């Protein structure tokens, strides 16, 4: 038995014939800036995860701190023979170690709130799109009103009403973010709903759950990934802002925002490093996420595919 | 046109009513209004008097009218810390915030439009790519940290600009205290305004770029080229006219967000506006001020939305008064 | 024989996409005489619109003209500077597009969009320009032009907008107007009116037309000469009567057969089997051979244009339907 090999297989696979995921990956990798962002992000996440292993010092073990080594400039010699590469804060804490630990907290708060908001927004959006009618009107009206107010304002009000604490900051971030997901899911779902395969799925009398999970969700996925990436960066930035204002995480959870706030008072006397380096770490985190998000948006947007 | 404005105004009144109801329910029904509105240090007699004055002993719907009346007459509630009307306190700080917000928006528009247009016309050029990379940076820079860095460079290291406060103010029209009329005031204004502008600058660049690219693909641009028009006219009239509609809308809507984000900038630069007042009030648990701030900001937002809608219909001839949806 | 106003020779317009080079216009040559109407016929994707855009210098990246000359009244257009090209566009050579809904700027008044077309080429006063604009509107059959001038495009019907677009094309009395399917988006009755108007106007002014369409019935009543395009190339060329009455290329025959009026009532509508080939990485040889009933091994070679007899008809086929004599 002989098999006929189509001509196309012999050469390189034509661009249009690749599987969608492979095409997305190859499109993503085509932009060096985005690859740089992804690599940077991987490095940052690794640093955060491995903080206890790679930090020169445990910055919150009071036994290791010595106030007489407080506010040392970057590059100063540490008593144990090491070097404070990024200087020390007022407590004599090694800034590099503090930043690794701070990244951990900032990323954790950002990721947890993003995942929670994603789940809530997804559920609300799909519910609204699938059932329509009054439920949809209600959900979308709430989303609309909420999105017409800036995130920072809602966060401040919520913190003012709820009080402070890690859980409350996460609650505030989730409250702000869910609306973005709900809106995105609903509009994506509405487009899908009008397509013929949905009609076909319903004619086959498939259960609603099956339609939603097997048909609707996979098609809502690309825009959701983009929104989630953007929102992760926004959540990290907002948490840092709240913490800087003294309205975010408690002092026992020293995120990057708190580190920056702590250095604020020393800034005017020229001791820049206490605020500067945590800020750079925050900036690099957000930039790397945004670079990835930007490329994802282009790659996943069917309208821009050439 | 007038009919349209009146109709939109009435819609705004409805939104304001709903929002006031929400705030009312939030404060009175969910929270304990006595805790929120009355000084915790007040003695029993003061409490009784306040409860009677606020009408807390009356049915809920009557309380709402008392609340609205208080809000309208500016005698809503008294600040715990400042012992004056909370609304007066906010209105007194409002010019500082408005000046900062307008200055920031001006900076964003004056730099954002041309840069975005350039990036949109030459998306693959070095300048276009640099502008876009810069806008990602503008999006990613945490506002408060940039503020600190500005202070570090321009106040501490170079000593060119003052690091905090508003400087001397001059009365504009004999009414509103502003900083920008004196050189010293301007020196105080420039850093916080730039800081506040950065995020919106990045946003405007991206919006203008996207609008320009979209509009260049439109057939009317191709037809304009087929007519043999000069590039300056195609871009200056045909393209710009079309991208101005979304841009004006966004500028309007973002103005509200600038006012909200001013809370951060005001805190960094100790700018005596209502945003700093809000942060201080949250830290001091001065809830009456928070409630009043909320009502004021909601009103501002509604007014901005109204203005944007009216402007929109003026810019786009297709939005006819008859088919303008609510 | 009158002189040729436009001579296109060896024109190639290629698009450099990420997926590869698309040869949208591949070695196209033809000429148009003063006052003549040339029909450019083909399915969508045959390169007919891209040929029109190339003439106007309106090819955007990633596309560009890679070879050939476009000689308008003695001047080679692609060789001119950008500013010289602009001065000719809308002045000596004008264009009308397919969708009248999209070609007028929705935010500008009609008078603004018309007057600017005059001021871009002539140093005249606004009042003079306005008078010329009025005249042009009357010419294309728009009654009470003064009222219409201060209106916005959305206040016009589709046919009305296309008349305005035609008036704009006529404003500077061009030598040639490229009409890119200007009537396909319109109602049949409006289509007829506009065709009649165009015919009348070109006779009066001596303006030559290139009429790009996929609709042979439009060509039949309008054109003097016809070029049939397929996969970026001209496959048949000749006078309108010759090509429509005695097509030589199997593709032209297929196009004619698929016009409903040419079929017997009650029989199945004929159609050309298969689809237009993708222009991406087109193999050498006759691009129509996959769909052609007369294909032989010879068709794997690229056929050349061959003139037939003395009537000026030419065909790019190894097996023309009427044997060469």
Residue B111 makes CB contacts below 8 A (sequence gap 6+) with B197, B201
Of the candidates C246, C300, C204, C279, the residue with the CA atom closest to the CA atom of residue C49 = C279
Measure the CA–CA gap between B180 and B172, rounded to whole angstroms: 10
Domains defined along chain C, listed by start = 4-92+172-315 (3.40.50.300)
Greater confidence, A1 or B242? Answer: B242
**A291-305, B85-99, B205-219, range with the lowest pLDDT:** A291-305
Residue A161 to residue B26, Cβ atoms within 8 A: yes
Is A11 an 8 Å CB contact of chain C? no
Q: Which residues make beta-bridge pairs with C211?
A: C39, C179
Say which CATH number the domain at A213 has. 1.10.3720.10
Give the minimum alpha-carbon distance from C104 to chain B in angstroms, rounded to a whole number.
Answer: 5
The per-residue pLDDT for A2 is: 39
State which of B87-96, B187-196, B311-320 shows the largest mean pLDDT: B187-196
Rounded to the nearest integer, the mean pLDDT of chain B is 79
Q: Are residues B42 and B49 in contact, defined by beta-carbon separation less than 8 angstroms?
A: no
Of the candidates C111, C148, C107, C102, the residue with the CA atom closest to the CA atom of residue B317 = C107
Residue A276 to residue B264, Cβ atoms within 8 A: no
Instruction: Name the 3-class secondary structure at B245.
Output: helix
Residue C120 to residue B229, Cβ atoms within 8 A: yes
Give, to the nearest 10 degrees, the angle between helix B287-315 and helix B2-24. Answer: 160
How far is CA B289 from each of CA A182, B20, B285, rounded to the nearest angstrom?
A: 32, 15, 9
Q: How many CB pairs under 8 A join A and B?
A: 95
Residue A276 makes CB contacts below 8 A (sequence gap 6+) with A263, B149, B152
Kindly list the partner chains of chain B, i.e. chains with 3 or more CB atom pairs below 8 Å.
Answer: A, C
Q: Are residues A52 and A61 in contact, defined by beta-carbon separation less than 8 angstroms?
A: no
Of the candidates B179, B195, B94, B193, the residue with the CA atom closest to the CA atom of residue B141 = B195
Greater confidence, C274 or B150? Answer: B150
Residue B220 to residue C56, Cβ atoms within 8 A: no
The predicted-structure confidence for C237-271, as pLDDT tens digits, reads as follows: 988 888 888 888 888 888 888 776 655 666 666 77
Rounded to the nearest integer, the mean pLDDT of chain C is 85
Tokens for A42?
Answer: 């991987």
Give the minimum alpha-carbon distance from B3 to chain A in angstroms, rounded to a whole number.
Answer: 25
* 3-state helix/strand/coil string of A148-213: CCCHHHHHHHHHHHHCCCHHHHHHHHHHHHHHHHHHHHHHHHHHHHHCHHHHHHHHCCCCHHHHHH
Instruction: Quote the percentage of chain A above a pLDDT of 70.
Output: 82
Measure the CA–CA gap between A92 and A100, rounded to whole angstroms: 16
The per-residue pLDDT for A113 is: 94
Instruction: Name the 3-class secondary structure at C248.
Output: coil
Is C90 an 8 Å CB contact of chain B? yes
Give, to the nearest 10 degrees, the angle between helix B126-140 and helix B183-216. Answer: 120
Q: Are residues C165 and C104 in contact, defined by beta-carbon separation less than 8 angstroms?
A: yes
Chain C residues whose beta carbon lies within 8 Å of the beta carbon of residue A306: 17-19
Instruction: Give the helix/strand (H/E) hosting A303.
Output: none
Taking 80 as the threshold, does the pLDDT of residue C49 lie above it? Answer: yes
The per-residue pLDDT for A7 is: 36
Sign of CA dihedral B278, B280, B283, B284: negative
The per-residue pLDDT for B72 is: 60
Residues of C with CB under 8 A from a CB of A: 17-20, 280-281
Q: Which residues make beta-bridge pairs with C38?
A: C210, C225
Of the candidates B1, B2, B3, B16, the residue with the CA atom closest to the CA atom of residue B305 = B16
C35: how many CB neighbours lie within 10 A of its CB? 17
Of the candidates B60, B95, B56, B53, the residue with the CA atom closest to the CA atom of residue B78 = B53
Chain B residues whose beta carbon lies within 8 Å of the beta carbon of residue A241: 142-144, 264
Taking 90 as the threshold, does the pLDDT of residue B135 lie above it? Answer: no
Taking 90 as the threshold, does the pLDDT of residue A189 lie above it? Answer: no
The per-residue pLDDT for C1 is: 44
The per-residue pLDDT for B106 is: 93
Residue B308 makes CB contacts below 8 A (sequence gap 6+) with B248, B249, B252, B253
List b or e across A139-154, with b for residues whose CB sees 16 or more CB atoms inside 10 angstroms. bbeebeebeebbbbbb
The per-residue pLDDT for C255 is: 85
Give the minimum alpha-carbon distance from C17 to chain A in angstroms, rounded to a whole number.
Answer: 8
Does the residue A155 lie in any domain?
yes
**A1-15, A250-264, B36-50, B242-256, range with the lowest pLDDT:** A1-15
> pLDDT category, B29, cuts 50, 70, 90?
low
**Scanning the structure block, which residue is given the tokens 């004929």?**
C270
Range of the domain at A239: 46-56+84-304
Instruction: Name the 3-class secondary structure at A66.
Output: coil
Domains defined along chain B, listed by start = 2-72 (no CATH), 86-325 (1.10.3720.10)
Measure the CA–CA gap between C262 and C260, rounded to whole angstroms: 5
Instruction: Quote the percentage of chain C above a pLDDT of 90.
Output: 12
Tokens for C271?
Answer: 């159609």
Task: Give CA C296 to chain center in angstroms.
Answer: 32
Measure the CA–CA gap between B181 and B189, rounded to whole angstroms: 11
**B4-13, C171-180, C257-266, range with the lowest pLDDT:** C257-266
Of the candidates C90, C85, C56, C58, the residue with the CA atom closest to the CA atom of residue C168 = C90
Instruction: Name the 3-class secondary structure at C263.
Output: coil
Taking 80 as the threshold, does the pLDDT of residue A58 lie above it? Answer: no
Of the candidates C53, C8, C58, the residue with the CA atom closest to the CA atom of residue C33 = C8
Give the minimum alpha-carbon distance from C93 to chain B in angstroms, rounded to a whole number.
Answer: 9
> pLDDT category, A108, cuts 50, 70, 90?
very high
List b or e across A159-179, with b for residues whose CB sees 16 or more CB atoms inside 10 angstroms. bbbeebebebbbbbbbbbbbb
> pLDDT category, A134, cuts 50, 70, 90?
confident
- Minimum CA–CA partner of C104 in chain B: B220
Q: Which of B140, B155, B283 sits opposite A287 (nearest CB)?
A: B140
Measure the CA–CA gap between C28 and C12, rounded to whole angstroms: 7
Residue C18 to residue A306, Cβ atoms within 8 A: yes
**Scanning the structure block, which residue is given the tokens 């007899």?**
C309
Residues of A with CB under 8 A from a CB of B: 33, 148-150, 152-153, 156-157, 159-161, 233, 237, 240-241, 244-247, 260, 264, 267-268, 270, 272, 275-276, 279, 282-283, 286-287, 290-291, 294
Is B249 an 8 Å CB contact of chain A? no
- Minimum CA–CA partner of A283 in chain B: B141
Q: What's the pTM?
A: 0.77
User: What is the full DSSP assignment across B94-155?
Assistant: HHHHHHHHHHHHHHHHHHHHHHHHHHHHSTTSHHHHHHHHHHHHHHHS-HHHHHHHHIIIII
| Number of structural domains chain A divides into | 1
How far is CA A167 from each of CA A108, A151, A170, rounded to the nearest angstrom?
A: 12, 18, 5
Measure the CA–CA gap between C86 and B231, rounded to whole angstroms: 9
Measure the CA–CA gap between B61 and B67, rounded to whole angstroms: 10
The phi and psi torsions of C39 (rounded to 5 degrees) equal: -90, 130
Query: How confident is the model over A182-186, as a mean pLDDT?
Result: 87
Does the residue A77 lie in any domain?
no
> pLDDT category, B192, cuts 50, 70, 90?
very high
The per-residue pLDDT for A56 is: 76
Measure the CA–CA gap between C192 and B79, rounded to whole angstroms: 78
Tokens for B236?
Answer: 């200056």
The per-residue pLDDT for C178 is: 92
The CA dihedral of A145, A151, A157, A160, to the nearest 10 degrees, is 150
Taking 70 as the threshold, does the pLDDT of residue C284 lie above it? Answer: yes
Query: How confident is the model over C166-177, as a mean pLDDT?
Result: 89
**Percent helix, strand and coil across chain C, each to the nearest 5:** 35, 25, 40
Residue A161 makes CB contacts below 8 A (sequence gap 6+) with B26, B31
Measure the CA–CA gap between B205 and B170, rounded to whole angstroms: 33
Instruction: Name the 3-class secondary structure at C93.
Output: strand
Is B264 an 8 Å CB contact of chain A? yes
Give the minimum alpha-carbon distance from C17 to chain B in angstroms, rounded to a whole number.
Answer: 15
Instruction: Name the 3-class secondary structure at C235.
Output: strand
**A280-294, B165-179, B286-300, C115-129, range with the lowest pLDDT:** B165-179
Query: How confident is the model over C73-93, as a mean pLDDT?
Result: 89
Measure the CA–CA gap between C150 and B23, rounded to whole angstroms: 49
Selected for mutation to probe chain A from B144, B163, B210 (highest A CB count within 10 Å) is B144
Greater confidence, B116 or B23? Answer: B116
Instruction: Indicate the DSSP class of residue B161.
Output: S
Q: Are residues B8 and B310 in contact, defined by beta-carbon separation less than 8 angstroms?
A: yes
Of the candidates A254, A249, A224, the residue with the CA atom closest to the CA atom of residue A238 = A249
Q: Which residues make beta-bridge pairs with C65?
A: C13
Instruction: Give the helix/strand (H/E) hosting C26.
Output: strand C20-33
Tokens for A43?
Answer: 């490095």
Instruction: Indicate the DSSP class of residue C69.
Output: E
Of the candidates B269, B288, B292, the residue with the CA atom closest to the CA atom of residue B179 = B269
The predicted-structure confidence for C202-236, as pLDDT tens digits, reads as follows: 888 888 999 998 888 888 888 889 999 998 889 99
Q: Which of B220, B228, B316 sits opposite C105 (nearest CB)?
A: B220
**Scanning the structure block, which residue is given the tokens 């404005």?**
B5
Q: Are residues B172 and B193 in contact, defined by beta-carbon separation less than 8 angstroms?
A: no
Residue B317 to residue C87, Cβ atoms within 8 A: no
Greater confidence, A114 or A80? Answer: A114
Rounded to the nearest integer, the mean pLDDT of chain A is 79
Q: Which of B156, B261, B282 sits opposite A150 (nearest CB)?
A: B261
> What is the distance between the terminal CA atoms of chain C, rounded to a whole angstrom?
25
The phi and psi torsions of B52 (rounded to 5 degrees) equal: -65, -40
The per-residue pLDDT for C301 is: 83
**Scanning the structure block, which residue is given the tokens 């001091």?**
B284
């Amino acid at each position: 038995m002989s098999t006929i090999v189509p001509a196309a297989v012999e050469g390189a696979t034509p661009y249009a014939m690749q599987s969608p995921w492979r095409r997305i990956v190859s499109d993503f990798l085509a932009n060096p800036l985005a690859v740089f962002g992804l690599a940077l992000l991987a490095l940052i996440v690794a640093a955060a995860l491995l903080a206890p292993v790679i930090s020169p010092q445990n910055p919150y073990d009071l036994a290791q701190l010595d106030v007489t080594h407080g506010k040392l400039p970057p590059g100063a010699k540490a008593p144990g023979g090491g070097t404070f590469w990024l200087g020390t804060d007022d407590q004599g804490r090694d800034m590099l170690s503090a930043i690794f630990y701070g990244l951990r907290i900032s990323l954790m708060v950002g990721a947890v709130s993003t995942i929670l908001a994603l789940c809530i927004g997804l559920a609300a959006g799909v519910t609204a799109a699938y059932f329509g009618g009054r439920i949809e009107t209600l959900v979308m009206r709430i989303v609309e009103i909420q999105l017409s107010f800036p995130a920072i304002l809602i966060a401040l009000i919520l913190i003012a009403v709820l009080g402070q604490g890690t859980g409350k900051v996460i609650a505030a971030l989730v409250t702000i973010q869910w609306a973005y997901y709900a809106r995105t899911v609903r509009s994506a779902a509405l487009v899908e709903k009008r397509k013929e395969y949905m009609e076909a799925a319903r004619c086959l009398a498939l259960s609603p759950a099956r339609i939603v999970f097997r048909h609707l969700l996979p098609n809502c996925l690309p825009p959701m990934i983009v929104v989630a990436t953007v929102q992760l960066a926004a959540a990290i930035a907002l948490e840092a802002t709240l913490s800087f204002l003294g309205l975010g995480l408690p002092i026992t959870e020293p995120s990057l925002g708190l580190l920056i706030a702590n250095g604020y008072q020393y800034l005017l006397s020229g001791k820049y490093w206490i605020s500067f380096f945590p800020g750079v770490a925050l900036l690099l985190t957000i930039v790397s996420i945004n670079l990835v998000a930007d490329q994802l948006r282009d790659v996943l947007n069917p309208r821009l595919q050439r | 046109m007038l009919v349209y404005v009146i109709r939109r105004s009435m819609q705004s009144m409805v939104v304001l009513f709903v929002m006031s109801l929400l705030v009312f329910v939030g404060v009175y029904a969910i929270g304990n209004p006595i805790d929120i509105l009355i000084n915790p240090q007040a003695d029993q007699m003061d409490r009784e008097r306040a409860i009677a004055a606020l009408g807390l002993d009356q049915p809920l719907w009557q309380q709402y009218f008392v609340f609205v009346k208080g809000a309208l007459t500016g005698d809503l509630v008294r600040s715990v810390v400042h012992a004056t009307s909370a609304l007066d306190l906010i209105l007194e700080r409002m010019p500082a915030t408005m000046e900062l917000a307008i200055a920031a928006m001006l900076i964003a528009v004056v730099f954002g439009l041309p840069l975005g247009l350039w990036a949109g016309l030459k998306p693959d050029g070095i300048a276009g790519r640099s502008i876009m990379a810069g806008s990602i940076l503008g999006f990613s820079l945490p506002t408060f940290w940039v503020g600190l860095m500005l202070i570090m460079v321009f106040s501490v290291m170079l000593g060119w600009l003052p690091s905090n406060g508003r400087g001397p103010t001059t009365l504009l029209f004999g009414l509103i205290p502003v900083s920008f009329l004196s050189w010293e005031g301007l020196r105080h204004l420039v850093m916080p305004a730039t800081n506040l502008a950065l995020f919106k600058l990045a946003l405007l660049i991206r919006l203008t770029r996207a609008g320009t690219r979209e509009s260049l693909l439109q057939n009317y641009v191709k037809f304009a080229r087929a007519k043999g028009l000069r590039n300056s006219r195609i871009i200056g009239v045909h393209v710009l006219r079309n991208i101005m509609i979304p841009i004006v809308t966004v500028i309007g809507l973002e103005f509200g967000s600038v006012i909200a984000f001013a809370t951060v900038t005001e805190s960094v630069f100790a700018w005596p506006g209502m945003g700093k007042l809000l942060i201080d009030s949250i830290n001091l648990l001065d809830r009456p001020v928070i409630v009043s701030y909320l009502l004021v900001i909601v009103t501002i937002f509604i007014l901005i939305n109204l203005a944007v809608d009216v402007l929109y219909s003026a810019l786009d001839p297709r939005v006819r008064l008859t088919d303008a949806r609510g | 024989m009158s002189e040729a106003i436009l001579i296109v020779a060896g024109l190639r317009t290629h698009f450099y996409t990420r997926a590869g080079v698309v040869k949208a216009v591949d070695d196209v040559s033809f000429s148009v005489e003063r006052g003549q109407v040339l029909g450019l016929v083909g399915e969508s994707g045959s390169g007919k619109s891209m040929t029109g855009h190339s003439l106007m210098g309106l090819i955007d990246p990633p596309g560009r003209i890679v070879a050939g000359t476009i000689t308008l009244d003695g001047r080679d257009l692609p060789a001119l500077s950008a500013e010289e090209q602009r001065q000719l566009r809308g002045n000596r050579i004008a264009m009308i597009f397919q969708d009248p809904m999209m070609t007028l700027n929705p935010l500008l008044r009609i008078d603004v969009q018309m007057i600017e077309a005059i001021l871009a080429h002539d140093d005249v006063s606004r009042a003079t320009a306005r008078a010329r604009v009025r005249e042009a509107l009357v010419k294309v059959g728009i009654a009470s032009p003064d009222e219409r001038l201060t209106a916005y495009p959305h206040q016009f019907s589709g046919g009305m907008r296309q008349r305005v677009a035609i008036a704009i094309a006529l404003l500077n009395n061009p030598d040639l107007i490229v009409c890119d399917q200007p009537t396909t988006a319109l109602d049949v009755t409006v289509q007829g009116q506009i065709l009649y108007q165009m015919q009348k106007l070109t006779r009066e002014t001596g303006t030559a037309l290139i009429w790009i369409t996929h609709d042979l019935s439009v060509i039949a009543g309008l054109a003097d000469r016809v070029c049939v395009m397929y996969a970026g190339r001209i496959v048949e060329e000749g006078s309108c009567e010759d090509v429509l009455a005695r097509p030589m290329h199997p593709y032209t025959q297929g196009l004619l057969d698929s016009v409903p009026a040419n079929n017997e009532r009650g029989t199945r509508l004929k159609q050309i089997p298969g689809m237009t080939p993708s222009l991406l990485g087109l193999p050498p040889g006759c691009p129509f051979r996959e769909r052609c009933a007369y294909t032989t091994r010879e068709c794997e070679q690229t056929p050349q244009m061959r003139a037939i007899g003395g009537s000026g008809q030419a065909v790019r086929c190894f097996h023309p339907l009427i044997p060469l004599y």
